[in-house]
Amino acid sequence: MPFTSIENLEKVAQNRYEAIIVASLRARQLNTKRLAKLAAIIEAGGEVEFDMDARKITMVALKDLMDGKVKFNRADTE
């Protein structure tokens, strides 16, 4: 997966920090889904075949953010 530059992250959100926070929340969401699938396989006795994605979750989350797959709302703090 190609490197994502800071300038590209700033195009998606107001600033790079906001983009990283959104990507980290997406990474947690992806990790939770992955762990739930793994737990279901273990409970089934390991009989079910599971295709574990070898990519790093953080990079998948950043790519999802850059591709527009992640939607977020800003909480206006005034």
Using alpha carbons only, what angle is made at residue 28 by residues 26 and 32, rounded to the nearest 5 degrees? 120
Instruction: Provide the percentage of residues in the chain whose pLDDT is more than 70.
Output: 83
What's this model's pTM, rounded to 2 decimal places?
A: 0.78
* Other Cβ atoms within 10 Å of 8 Cβ, number: 14
Q: Is the pLDDT of residue 23 over 90?
A: yes
State how many domains the chain has: 1
Produce one character per residue of 42-75: b if its CB has 16 or more CB atoms within 10 Å, e if not. eeeeeeeeeeeeeeebeebbbbbbbeeebeeeee
> What domain range is 53 assigned to?
6-66
Q: Is the pLDDT of residue 78 over 60?
A: no
Q: Is residue 18 part of a domain?
A: yes
Q: Is residue 74 part of a domain?
A: no
Q: Is residue 28 part of a domain?
A: yes
The structure tokens listed for 37 are: 């699938």
Q: Is residue 77 part of a domain?
A: no
Q: Is residue 36 part of a domain?
A: yes
Per-residue pLDDT at 38: 84
